[in-house]
Amino acid sequence: MDKKTILVIDDTPSNLVLLNNLLSKHYTVKVANSGSKGIRLAMADQAPDLILLDVVMPELNGFEVCDVLKKNRKTHHIPTMFLTTLHEDAEVQLGLALGAEDFISKPVGASELTRKIANHFAHVEAHTVPL
């Protein structure tokens, strides 16, 4: 079975390095340091299986990126998890209303994040009908 691909979109280089190091043992990881680059990577021929998306970014914030991706026929199906320092109820509700599967507050422990991702993929596998 091929490794699942996770696209990490975050404007903080140290977060990209940290998440790449944490996740690359079990997943193929692609990184983007801006919302526009993330959108381009998500729309590429090999779409990711999951997007980890920061909210607070210059240019396009994570909510705007999620909105673009969820409205696009090619990317609307890609599960998205917000990974952010924001944790006000209004922000969480907005993220979920835009179609995100989860809203994870930073800082997040490595084991918590990897468990949430593994649980997500296990849930998808359990509800996928074989062809």
Task: Give the CATH number of the domain where residue 11 resides.
Answer: 3.40.50.2300
Give the pLDDT band of residue 129 (cuts 50, 70, 90).
Answer: low
Q: Identify the weakest region by mean pLDDT among 48-52, 79-83, 90-94.
A: 90-94
What global pTM score does this model have? 0.92
Answer yes or no: is pLDDT of 1 > 70.
no
Largest CA distance in the chain: 42
| Count of structural domains, the chain | 1
Domain extent at residue 36: 5-126
Q: Is the pLDDT of residue 45 over 90?
A: no
Q: For residue 12, give every residue at least 6 positions away whose Cβ sits within 8 Å of its Cβ, in sequence order, or none.
A: 54
pLDDT tens-digit profile of 57-70? 999 999 999 999 99
* 82, part of any domain: yes
Torsion from C-alpha of 83, 88, 92, 94, nearest 10 degrees: -120
Domain membership of residue 64 (yes or no) is yes
CA 69 to chain centre: 11
Decide if 70 is inside a domain: yes
Residue 131 lies in a domain: no
